[in-house]
Amino acid sequence: MAFEKVNEIIKEEPGFASLTDLAAEKLGGKALYCTDDFFAEKENLLKPGRGIFIADKFTERGKWMDGWESRRKRVPGHDWVIIKLAMPGIIAGFDIDTHFFLGNHPPHASVDALYLPDATENIEWEKLNWEEVLSKSSLDAGSRNFFKCESQKMFTHVRLHIYPDGGVARFRVYGKVVKDWGRVKPNEEIDLAAALNGAEALACNDMFFSEMGNLLMPQRGINMGDGWETKRNRTANNRDWVIIKLATPGLIHKLIVDTAHFKGNYPDSCTLEACFCEDDEAVKNNKVNWEEILPSQKLNADTEHAFTTELKCKTVYSHVRLNIFPDGGVSRIRIFGCKS
């Protein structure tokens, strides 16, 4: 059933854009099928960044573009692409980014979604019971086009329609991971700081060079841009920090702070604080009592640091705050423990 409201483009980055991109390639999102990607491959939609433009780069099919681009349609109909989300989730909004697509962007787009956890490869996608979660909406060229999603249902797949054809650089599906914690055993060790489990990077004081959300991604970082890095700070005794909401409240047993690829710009030291609170806004506004659970530890360049006996955990925690001194970059943080 289509939503009745008119979908206006949100031009300023909305709050939901700080949520997890459920479709991100580096989380495990996949472009499964499209009607046409003659000029540029559908897989580009899910890559990090906004895409690049190389003026003199061409392929045997035409201009090389960093996005998904179909050929000019000369028959009735329109093009669409199927995306499998990295994890089932509740969608808060979309970014249909037409970066560098100026004379070749689609004038309109819409999005359908469905919940199909046991999908197989040989599916007739057109015959499934799709639900429209973004009705046909106008797109601007060369722009991030944000749209809110009103549905509160859980989905595993989305279908992006473009009308009638053209190019989209990136497609983001922002929302919250929904994990079935009933299937996790009480004493089973799990990464409470993994985005795939539902952890979120809520706030930080600085992310000048790279995003705080990278801390929660799977695998080790691939380069220095794939982490959280703050600017150089000249204030004596400076502290940079990031707050992470754990995937579920839990008992913490082990911490890993990975400075992979940060060699001349890793933090000198770090501490970790924790709290239990059911109100994210209170946590972000520092209206909680933080407890230091890891006293100051020296860090090294390009190293995966593991802390166990150094931890001073006393209870169940819902949020942690990683403090780095005085500034620098961290690639990943892992917080292993058990659900409460």
| Domains along the chain with CATH numbers | 15-177 (2.60.120.260), 183-339 (2.60.120.260)
Both structure tokens of 146: 């944000």
Q: Tens of pLDDT along 178-218?
A: 999 999 998 999 999 999 999 999 999 999 999 999 999 99
Degrees (nearest 5) of the Cα angle 180, 181, 184? 115
Query: Per-residue pLDDT for 51 more than 50?
Result: yes
Query: Per-residue pLDDT for 2 more than 80?
Result: no
Which residue in this structure is represented by tokens 């909004």?
Answer: 93
Q: How far is CA 192 from CA 90, 172, 224, 245, in A?
A: 19, 24, 24, 9
Q: How far is CA 55 from CA 45, 100, 121, 139, in A?
A: 20, 11, 37, 24
Which residue in this structure is represented by tokens 């009607």?
Answer: 35
pTM of this prediction?
0.92
Q: Tens of pLDDT along 313-328?
A: 989 999 999 999 999 9
